[in-house]
Amino acid sequence: MSIKSVILAAGKGTRMKSETSKVLHEILGKPLLGYVLDNVKNITDENFVIVGHCAQEVTGFVNKNYPNSKTILQTPQLGTGHAVSMACPDLEDFDGQVIILCGDTPLIKEETLKKFIDYHNSKNSDLTVMSAIFENPANYGRIIREDNGALKCIVEEKDATPEQKAVKEVNAGIYCLNWSKIKPAFSQLTSNNAQGEYYLTDIIEWGKKKSLKVNAYIMEDNREIFGINSRLNLAQAAKIMNERKLNELMINGVTIVDPDSTWISEDTEIGTDTTIFPFTYIEGKNKIGKHCNIGPCAHLRGGVEVEDYIKIGNFVEVKKSKISSHTNVGHLSYIGDSELGSRVNIGAGTITANYDPISKKKSKTVLKDDVKIGSNSVLVAPVEVEEGANVGAGGIITKNIPAWSLAVTRSPLKVLTDWVKKKLG
């Protein structure tokens, strides 16, 4: 059965105190909305992202990175039920399933969504809501069940009675709908509530009145629905995500010397027997091979592909580069928009000058196999250093260097005897 998604991303996120859309705030180099879209991309055929605040910026992000997704403007913003209704014209003739998610919940896993959909199908449900158990359920809508355990309705906290507020099962904000049966609900919702909004949660009660099969699926890890409403939440979610990634890597044979000071993005792959030293920060999408040493104090900024037996050492920054096996980038260097061959050695303080501030273009540096770069060198891109060539310390390389050559750009050393004594009189 075809599955599509509707992702709610129109809110302003007032508590973020930011001019940037809440869903475009980043964790380890990727916007919150990106995490949600990535976790549905292997499940859905098409995604509809409901935008409002900073709609142009959010649309730009979606269009650039997710070709099977479309943004739909919600204006004015009259609640979550109204937001989903914005997608109804695009889903007019759709007869599959629709999953509804929030764009500010980056911790949700693809595996959890698949289990949720499987549960929906196994129960022959028309509508299933995902729920979670919290010891402190404050600020969440409560799942209200019948005496026999069946789902009755969802009550928003502001509309809940004291008895309902004591319920620990809450709405996770994720729904699976048999669209053709639930679609009519979105033209029949009312705004008779404390907020004067059209609540998405009201489709539960609507479905019950229509004698449709309505269920609730309790998720295993309630941290996955942790929503981002403030900078504090953003930091908390980043820690959860990072811990999850580091644990996964260590279980699979990667040594993390100090998990408390190491940050590695969800989209980074690392091979076995690689060691990540303290204070290393790896963001974006990267692939690191086996038997590598990364750090301490290294920064990989995304788009980095590292083969086996590589050393990226102290205070080295690497961005959008490929590094072949048995190459060392020891310390205090910047490698950007570059391609390094095998058995290359980069001396301390080497910089690939990849950015032209006048044209605002970035160019590539290519170092072939067995190249050696002396300390404090600058490679001004675009430039190629051919196989086996050496660059002397302090070199400023502005043109291609032939294979097995030595490139030296520093002036001859001058020694002025007794110069200091003469100056001191």
Active site residues per annotation: 331
CA 228, 234, 239, 245 dihedral sign is: positive
Q: Are 107 and 224 in contact (CB under 8 A)?
A: yes
CA distances from 151 to 161, 165, 171 (A): 18, 16, 11
Backbone dihedral region for residue 94 (phi beyond 0: left; psi -120 to 50: alpha; all else: beta) = beta
CA distances from 345 to 118, 304, 318, 373 (A): 52, 18, 15, 6
Q: Are 111 and 158 in contact (CB under 8 A)?
A: no
β 281-282/299-300 pair status: parallel
In sequence order, what are the residues at sequence separation of 6 or more whose Cβ sits closer than 8 angstroms to the Cβ of residue 56? none
Residues 399, 333: Cα–Cα separation, whole Å: 20
CA angle centred on 161, ends 157 and 164, rounded to 5°:
75
- Tell me how far the alpha carbon of residue 87 is from its chain's centroid: 25
Residue type, 174: I
CA 374, 376, 378, 379 dihedral sign is: positive
Q: Are 142 and 160 in contact (CB under 8 A)?
A: yes
